[in-house]
Amino acid sequence: MKQVEIRGIIPPILTPMNDDESINVAELRNQVNRMIDNGCHALFCFGTNGEGYILSGKEKQLVLETVVEECNGRVPVYAGTGCISTKETIEQSQMAMDVGADVLSLIVPSFAAASQEELYTHYSTVAAAVDMPIVLYNIPARTGNALAPATVGRLAAIENIVGAKDSSGNFTNILGYIDQGRASDPNFSMLSGNDQLIIWTLLAGGNGGIAGCANVYPHTMASIYDLFMEGKIEEAKKMNESIQSLRGCFKYGNPNTVIKTAAALLGYNVGKCRAPFNQIPEEGIEALKKVLKENADKGMH
């Protein structure tokens, strides 16, 4: 199994699209270099901000092949290969292993209600089928199922389940994952999926975050981790706080639609999110433009 240090600020990289909703491979390569050049510590393909929920298996393979090739080993590449069924999750995970991803991120299965025992069986079965590091991914608002800290503790005992990402927005849950995960594996890694909680996750002993806002401000977001590691805690807190105005625009639409729109307003040819999840009212566009201008004047990038 690959040995990969799970750490830092990891953008769930946008999937740029042309007007016909096909993948814009050239712009995807541009975004890979933009993220790396601005100090991000890894890249995460087809996460929520990468619209993994709406890409076909073939499209996911194209995105991952492009990112792995363009990245060329400069930083680790994560692949979000979780699906509703265990069978398809294994198929996607094996695809990612073959393409050359470094880490798998497995979102909790969605739509149908799942017991903790069903979730444990799902993850343990996938882990047995791939020789790769796996990061669990909890986002109950989107999936309808929540991974309990006690279940994370059980899963952490499996050799290639090496960490978890929590996007519940519940800091108590993050603390529970750290406590339960490290009771089974002292090296179990914890990533915040909520950008607001990155610095607090680090202060609690976590390892970083998978940060959607890094698609807009890669340098600013990467600095949270870098400053923290340098012991500059107050500066790291200020960097984390600086994204509040951007997050305040999330009220105007789907957060990943807001993030992709913001990147487009900055001049990047990322296109729109795939329909129907691609609309922001005019007042939201104006609010975004105002925030982007204010933050540019502050030197955020």
Could you report the per-residue pLDDT of 112-160, keeping only the tens digit for each?
A: 999 999 999 999 999 999 999 999 999 999 999 999 999 999 999 999 9
Active site residues: 137, 165
What are 248-272's pLDDT values in tens digits?
A: 999 999 999 999 999 999 999 999 9
For residue 138, list its beta bridge partners: 166
Given a cut of 90, whether residue 218 has pLDDT beyond it is yes
Please provide the average confidence, as pLDDT, over all residues in the chain. Answer: 97
Given a cut of 90, whether residue 273 has pLDDT beyond it is yes
Do 218 and 235 meet the contact criterion of CB atoms below 8 Å apart?
no
The model's confidence at residue 237, banded by pLDDT at 50, 70 and 90, is very high
SS3 at position 86: helix
The model's confidence at residue 1, banded by pLDDT at 50, 70 and 90, is confident
What are 26-75's pLDDT values in tens digits?
A: 999 999 999 999 999 999 999 999 999 999 999 999 999 999 999 999 99
Given a cut of 90, whether residue 109 has pLDDT beyond it is yes
Mention every residue, 6+ apart, whose C-beta is less than 8 A from residue 270: 14, 16, 17, 24, 27, 31, 260, 263, 264
pLDDT at 46: 94
CA nearest neighbour of 220 among 35, 5, 7: 35
In whole angstroms, what is the distance from residue 51 CA to residue 270 CA?
Answer: 12
Do 227 and 208 meet the contact criterion of CB atoms below 8 Å apart?
no
Fold of 8-241: TIM Barrel (3.20.20)
Given a cut of 90, whether residue 2 has pLDDT beyond it is no
What integer is the mean pLDDT of 195-220? 98
pLDDT at 279: 97
Q: Token digits for 151?
A: 């279940």
- Where exactly are the structural domains of the chain? 8-241
Q: Token digits for 31?
A: 């975004």
Do 91 and 60 meet the contact criterion of CB atoms below 8 Å apart?
no
In whole angstroms, what is the distance from residue 108 CA to residue 50 CA?
Answer: 17
